[in-house]
Each structure stands twice: as C-alpha cells, then as structure tokens.
Amino acid sequence: MSDLKRILKNASYLFIGAAIADASAFLFRVLIANKLGPSVFGLFSLALMTVSVGTSITLLGLPDGIVTYVSRFRSNDQPDKIAGVVLVSVGIVVITNIVLIAVIWTLAPLLATTLFDTKALTPLLRVFVLGMPAKSIIALTGAICLSYEQAALQTTIRRLVPKIGQLTTAAIIIVAGGGIQLVVTWYVVVLWLTAILGLSLTTLLLKGESIKEISTNTRELLTFSSPLFLSGFIGFFLNWTDTIFVGFFLTSVDVGIYQSAYLLGTSISLFIGAVANTLYPNFGSLLAQNKHDVISNRYRKASRWLSILAVAPTAYLITFPEQSLTLLFGAEFRAGRWVLVTIVATYFVSAVLGPATNTLKTMGYSRYILTTFLVAFLVNIALNLLLIPRIGLLGAAVGSGTASIISDIFHFRRVKTELNLSLPVQNIGRVIVIAGVVALFLSLISDNVTTLPIYGGFVVLFCLLYAGGLLITNTISWRDLRKLIVE
C-alpha cells in the first residue's frame, strides 16, 4: 500500500470510528442529563474531570513519546528500542497509578466538600478512581497501535469498545430504574474490559518484532515526554478550567448546563482528531527522511478538508443553539445557548488552523508547546476569575475559548515558519459562505422543528443542501470524491 493510501485508509478508520464513538459518548451523556437532570449530570462531570486529571498525571505524556519514538524506530528497523520504550512506559505508569489512586481515594471527601461544596460527589469519585489504571492502559495500548499506523486497532481500543459499552450499560441501567452510582460502576467495569482487550491486541503487534534484546533510554524518553506531559496537563486544564470555576462559583446545576453546551460544541473535534492522529505518526516518519515539502503539502490539504467538514456543524449550531440544546437535553438546558455558540466557534478556528500541535510534537518542539500552553492556561484562569462572577456561564466559555485560540495561533505560526506553509484561505472562505447561506435559508422554516425526529431530519436536510452547494460551486468535484473513495 502506498504512503498516501495508507494515510487515507487510517483517516477513514479514525474518522468513522471517532464518529461512532463520539456519537455513543454524546448519547451516553445526553441520557444522563435528560433522564437524571442537570444536577446529577453536573456531579458526574465533576467526578469524571477529577479522575481524568489523575489519569493525565499518571501517563506523564508517555503516549506521545510512544507514538513519536516507536514510529521512528520502526522506520529505522530498531525493534530493541521499541521494546525499551514500551517497557519503560508501562513501568512508570504502574507506579504513578498506585500513588494517585491512594491520594484521590483518601482526599475524596475533602475534594468534594472544599472544592465543589457537595458531599454527594464523594462516592462517585471513589468509584471512578478505580478505573484510572484502566484508562492509562487504554491510552498506552492505543498509542502503540497508532505508532504502528494501525488506526483500526487504535480506534477500537480507545474509542469504539469503551464508548459503545458505556452507552449500552447506562441505557439498560437507567431504563431499569438504576441511579448514577450504578451507571458509574459499570462505566469502570467497561474500562477494565477494554484495557484487557488493548493489552491482548498490542501483545500480538509486538510479537511480530524480532526482539533480541531490550534497549532502554529512559532519560531520552522522559526528556521528550515530560514537557509534553506538562503541556498536555496544562492543555487538559485549558479544557476543564471553566468547569472547575463554574463548580466553584456557581452550582452543580450550572455545571450540568455548561457541560451540555460544551459537549455539543466540541462535537466537531472528531474531524480534528481523525486528521491530526492520522498524520501524527506519518509526519514522524517523513521527518526522519527529511521530506519537509511533503509534510507541508499534506498539512495544507488537511486544513482544507478540516474546514470543509467542520463548517457545516459549526454553522448549524451557531444558527440554532437554543433549539439544539432544548430538543437534545431538555428545556432546562437552553440557558447554555451562548456558551454553545462561543465554544463551537472556538473549535472551528482550531479546525481551520490544521493539526499544528501534533506537527510540532513530531518536530520535537515539546518545550515550545509547554510554554504556549502555560501562557494560554494563565489567560484562561484570569478570564474565568474575572468573568464568571460577572456574566456567569458565558464568562467561562469566553475565557476557555480565548485561551484555546491563543495556543492554536502560537502553534500554527511556529509550524508555518518551520515548514513555510500557507492555509487555503480562499477555499475556507468559500465553504463558510456556502454553510452560512444554507443556515440562513433553513432559519426561515426552523419554527416547524419541534420534536427530536424532525430535528434529525432538519440536520440531514442541512447536510444535503451544504453538500449540494459544495458540488455546485466546484469547491469539491465529483472527481475529488471518487479519488478519495478509491484511495
């Protein structure tokens, strides 16, 4: 298989898998929010956030180190070094998990009452923390699969199995009258079953290597991964700082409303993830061969396709925010409409700028990423502290969105300088106009959208009109589509 065909095949696996998984995760949270209410959904979100922070700490940026180094060592036929990277990563993650589980379990009552002022959070935290090692295993095994450019396996481990499993068990429990405690328990059980699957699949991958001895370079791996851990950790807080401060200044009901808007607004990130994760190991191999011109060309194409794919949901959600929140989550959630508009606009900017962050990782700029994330993190904190007490939920969205855009612009400017690339500005402008015209036309009949089935049909109609606009204006040709499908 040619290099380009392999990229397209992996992108297809990642996109389709991400679409199914994100839809499952979305429905999972909609189910909790719709059936159990914004207060319970807020508690769930706070517990998940706390344990996700712990998981991020246990990983120490090692999944990025695995993708970067294993893809390079594969290109240079160095199986002994591949084994060393995997062995060191697993050892470190086991130790950090043992420590963090003990800390979070012990401090759960203090975190619940002091930070978020709700005792009901304690039991959820203690159940969630038991799934932290499983989340770490899933992250490591998924990274190993991605470094071998096995996107189908990576998608299966990291996204499909856990998301579909969690949705299925939650639906059964809620229909049977169970509460959030039982939902979270089975959430953790599904994580462990997925972790076992991930270990099995990656063992088969690594068995294909003729490893005669294990060559470890722990210092080099940690030197690369540690800045990425710090930047990833800070980047994680960039996504959760708003929720933390909403929980601190406001109530669990407000957290639930905010998280519903955030969940819907970040739905376009599946396009960004599919493209960025596909190019990540490929760019690593190309850099090892000094093919910078190929990277630049593929980056530009990635930005073009990201703008084409992401502008449709962006235009729809900006035009119909209240309708979307009300029909999907319930009438109580309509208060998050301006939060939704702000967040979806932020993620569209990320899509247009292309996979800059992952490109910088492959180029070894981990310290630069850390510095830029730190700047954005400080801006995020300052804006949240300033705006939430004054304008509530919208202040959190503005703070988070501004910080995210700052880091994205920093990363793109550095990639642009290093690779001498440019964005397809004319193409991006054209797709924005097409999506805007379709949204304006459909707004004339949007009052008829009063039920969820009609809403689904309305979304499909929007997509069909948008696709027709792309073809009529020759933004995408039939030849482009045929070539994409064949390759």
Give tens-digit pLDDT for 17-27.
667 777 787 78
Could you tell me if 141 and 242 lie in one domain?
Answer: no
Could you tell me the sign of the dihedral formed by the alpha carbons of 129, 239, 186, 274, in that order?
negative
pTM across the whole model: 0.67
474 and 409 inside one domain? yes
On whether both 136 and 32 belong to a single domain, the answer is yes
pLDDT of the residue at 196: 92
CB atoms within 10 A of CB 422: 11
Question: Which residue range forms the structural domain that includes residue 97?
Answer: 1-216
**pLDDT (tens digit, 9 = 90+) per residue, 90-116?**
888 888 889 888 988 888 888 777 766
Helices (H), 363-451: 366-391, 393-419, 425-443
At 11 the pLDDT is: 58
Say if residues 241 and 384 touch (Cβ distance below 8 Å): yes
Rounded Cα distance between 142 and 17, Å, is: 13
Residue 226 forms part of a structural domain: no
Which amino acid type is present at position 114? T
Distance CA 228, CA 93 (A): 15
Helix axes 121-128, 79-110, angle to 10 degrees: 160
Same domain, 208 and 285: no
Residue 290 burial (CB count, 10 A): 9
What sections of 250-365 are H helices per DSSP?
Answer: 252-265, 269-288, 292-319, 321-329, 337-353, 356-362
Q: Domain count for the chain, please give it.
A: 2
Number of helices (H), then strands (E), belonging to the chain: the values are: 20, 0
Tell whether 88 is covered by a domain: yes
54 is a domain residue:
yes
Confidence of residue 330 (pLDDT cuts 50, 70, 90): confident
SS3 of residue 320 by DSSP: coil
Pick from 63-77, 204-218, 440-454: least confident: 204-218
The domain boundary residue, chosen from 166, 187, 216: 216
Which run of H or E residues covers position 51?
Answer: helix 3-59
Predicted confidence band at 382 (pLDDT cuts at 50, 70, 90)? very high
Mean pLDDT of 351-368: 78
In a domain, 224, yes or no: no
Tokens of 211: 């490893």
Task: Output the furthest CA–CA distance in the chain (Å, rounded).
Answer: 69
- Domain presence at residue 451: yes
Beta-carbon contacts of 225 under 8 Å, excluding residues fewer than 6 positions away, are 60, 61, 62, 64, 65, 366
Average pLDDT, integer, range 107-129: 80
Inter-residue contact 303 to 312 (CB < 8 Å): no
Evaluate whether residue 81 is within a structural domain: yes
Q: Whole-angstrom Cα distance, residue 146 to residue 156?
A: 11
Question: How far, in Å, CA of 279 to CA of 415, rounded?
Answer: 14
- Burial of 306 from C-beta contacts in 10 A (0-12 / 13-18 / 19+): buried
Residues 39 and 175 in one domain: yes
Do residues 244 and 165 both lie within one domain?
no
Residues 135 and 192 in one domain: yes
Is 406 a domain residue? yes
Regarding whether 269 and 192 lie in a shared domain, the answer is no
Give the model confidence (pLDDT) of 266-313 as tens digits.
877 766 665 655 555 556 566 666 677 777 777 777 778 788 888 888
Supply 384's token pair: 């949240």
Measured distance between the N- and C-terminal CA atoms of the chain, rounded to whole angstroms: 10
pLDDT per residue as tens digits for the range 163-208:
899 889 989 998 888 888 888 899 999 999 999 998 888 888 777 6
Instruction: Quote the DSSP letter at residue 113.
Output: I
| Domain termination residue (choose one: 155, 186, 216) | 216
Q: In terms of domains, do 190 and 237 share one?
A: no
Among 153, 186, 216, the domain-final residue is 216
- Specify whether 210 is located in the same domain as 244: no
Q: Please check whether residues 424 and 339 belong to one and the same domain.
A: yes
Whether residues 182 and 259 fall in one domain:
no
How high is the mean pLDDT of the chain? 80
State mean pLDDT over 463-473. 88
Q: What three-state secondary structure class fits 487?
A: coil
Q: Give the three-class secondary structure for 408.
A: helix
CA atoms of 389 and 407, how far apart (whole Å)? 25
Q: Is 223 domain-assigned? A: no
